[in-house]
Structure 1
Amino acid sequence: MKYGLQMYSVRDVAQSDLLGTIEKVAALGYHYAEFAGFFGIPAADVKAKLDECGMEVSSTHTGWQELTDDVIDKTIEYHKTIGNSFIIIPGADLSDQQKLDDFIALVNKVQPVLAQAGIKLGYHNHAHEFKLNADGSHIYEQLKSRTNMELEIDTYWAYVGGQDPIAMMHELKDRVHIIHIKDGSADGHGTPLGMGTAPAAEVYKTACELGMQLIVESETCTPSGLEEARICMEFLKAQEK
């Protein structure tokens, strides 16, 4: 099995040495990188380091602000240079119906532009998308019904949001090809895989059954992001047995 790491997991070192961190992530056994920022490093340098380490880009977390008319061409160029074909919006302020309408309009506008460049568009959930806004609007239901973008299920945040991540994976299997496998407590405190109460082992099994790519995210950097990434890799390897 080939696994990926959301590079936000190692932000404590990546923000000052992204290229060196790629090397260290590869040494832990990760094959894919899902980036969450590039810290000013030229795209060609990122691509060269990935090639040197035998890694590939699975996807990136890219804010919607990088998809507006004035910068989208630059965003596309960067992502094509590093070999990325999947841009995922990591979240947005969708706290009322107007904000939802504006965001959905942006998504439906930029998705075909990205598609022409060979790049898919997706959205990554946290927990709040499963709660009703104060005005009664429901974020995740509208993202599902009013767009056809892909959905990257963060299985831990879905769990915190009161959802059954296994049921979600089955329900949305035609719109999901990458998931975040992640662990923690039900109150939102993350842990490395195998140390929380989220159904990480069942998520692993279901992802394998459905052919979904597994991207590890461990957010606390305790004692360090790389140590958490190592623990998570041990968990993944144990599931293979």
Structure 2
Amino acid sequence: MALPLASVQLYSLASEFSADMHGSLERLAAIGFTTVEAFDFVGRPAEIRSALDATGIVASTGHAPLLSDELWTPDGAIPTPEPGVVFEAAAAIGMTTVFDPFVAPERWLTEDGVADIAERLNRAADVAATFGLSVGYHNHAQEFVASFGDQSAYERFIELTDERVQIELDLFWAQTGGQDVTALAARLAGRLTAVHVKDGIIPAVNPWGPDGAKFSSDSLDQRHPGTGEVPLAESLRANDSIQYAVIEYDHAPGDVFDDIAAGFTFLRDGGFVA
């Protein structure tokens, strides 16, 4: 099987990218990236596409809310557009898959809530197909708080979504949710299209669990891939359906471009990417 491509979630450098799209992408290209994962792209597709084309990078995947009225980030919420508007922008940029990056914690606590999330994403897949796109879901840690019988809410969601709904597994956040992430990556089989290659010291308490306290991205101790507590190498080797290994920092420990370059070196030197 072909190795994944190295990518980077542009949320990691949100301020730098907004200030200078072309310059930011040039720096990523110099590191070695040929593809990126877009964030906050719906209101500026032409500008982003122009910067991508000028630097020879593509945005194969992107994050945008498909199931919520607001997109949560650790530092505030962003109002969301209709799915059709999202897909139109994604298609203009040249994406293949749009991942919903966050669904509110309370919606994962009941079986009816999880069923509703899955049904909505299945319907979004129908709309996305009319634009030549696929949809998927990217986890944090709230999906692992509730269990129904011997299934986590996340695993119930996987069971209820169509096979065409793709999965992007954030390894740091899944481990924060108490998961054996290597085993989870293997169980996702052909559904696992992308992983977020994110490392650091796992929070002692799941921020979305019953004992969680309010937090922001600044409270996270995230580190260069391969230097924290997440079994990245084992997880990347656990599933041969992964197409994108996506570097992301919710809280970059230093200069963000240096931190991203360290992640790329980990992927390249470890033989994890093409």
User: In the TM superposition, what whole-angstrom CA distance separates every residue of 1:129-162 from its partner, at most 9, and x where no partner exists?
Assistant: 11217xx994202211211221111112112212
Alignment of 1:148-163 (within 5 A): 148=162, 149-163=165-179
User: In the TM superposition, what whole-angstrom CA distance separates every residue of 1:82-108 from its partner, at most 9, and x where no partner exists?
Assistant: 101101000111423354344333212
The alignment covers a number of residue pairs equal to: 236
AA matched with 1:220: H
Distance 1:161 1:173 in 2: 20
Equivalent position to 1:235, from 266, 269, 273: 266
For residues 107 and 210 of structure 1, do their structure 2 counterparts lie closer, same or farther at Cα, with a shift above 3 Å needed?
closer
1:117 paired with 2:131, answer yes
Equivalent position to 1:147, from 157, 161, 177: 161
1:93 paired with 2:93, answer no
Which residue is 1:76 aligned to?
87
1:94, 1:100 within 8 Å by CA — same for their partners in 2?
Answer: no
Which residue is 2:56 aligned to?
54
> Displacement of 1:218 after TM fit?
2.0
Which residue is 1:174 aligned to?
190
The structure with the largest helix share of the pair is 1
SS of residue paired to 2:159? helix
Alignment of 1:10-29 (within 5 A): 10-29=13-32
2:22, 2:55 within 8 Å by CA — same for their partners in 1?
Answer: no
User: In the TM superposition, what whole-angstrom CA distance separates every residue of 1:184-209 from its partner, at most 9, and x where no partner exists?
Assistant: 112263212122111122233335x4
Aligned Cα RMSD in Å?
2.7
Distance 1:94 1:160 in 2: 14
User: In the TM superposition, what whole-angstrom CA distance separates every residue of 1:145-183 from its partner, at most 9, and x where no partner exists?
Assistant: 211221111112112212122212221121112111111
Distance 1:206 1:54 in 2: 31
SS of residue paired to 1:3? strand
Which residue is 1:132 aligned to?
146
AA matched with 2:269: A
Which residue is 2:226 aligned to?
194
Which residue is 1:203 aligned to?
235
SS of residue paired to 1:121? strand
Query: What is the TM-score normalised by the length of structure 2?
Result: 0.77
Distance 1:48 1:205 in 2: 35
Equivalent position to 1:31, from 24, 34, 42: 34
User: In the TM superposition, what whole-angstrom CA distance separates every residue of 1:9-59 from its partner, at most 9, and x where no partner exists?
Assistant: 112312333333222222211111101113843x23322221222211121
Give unpaired runs (5+ residues) of structure 2: 71-80, 204-219
AA matched with 2:14: R
Distance 1:15 1:145 in 2: 38
2:191, 2:241 within 8 Å by CA — same for their partners in 1?
Answer: no
Which residue is 2:210 aligned to?
none
Distance 1:9 1:211 in 2: 21
Distance 1:6 1:228 in 2: 13
1:18, 1:39 within 8 Å by CA — same for their partners in 2?
Answer: no
Query: What is the TM-score normalised by the length of structure 1?
Result: 0.86
AA matched with 2:63: H
SS of residue paired to 2:238? helix
SS of residue paired to 1:228? helix
AA matched with 2:121: V
For residues 160 and 94 of structure 1, do their structure 2 counterparts lie closer, same or farther at Cα, with a shift above 3 Å needed?
closer
1:183, 1:196 within 8 Å by CA — same for their partners in 2?
Answer: yes
The structure with the largest strand share of the pair is 2
SS of residue paired to 1:174? helix
Distance 2:95 2:31 in 1: 22
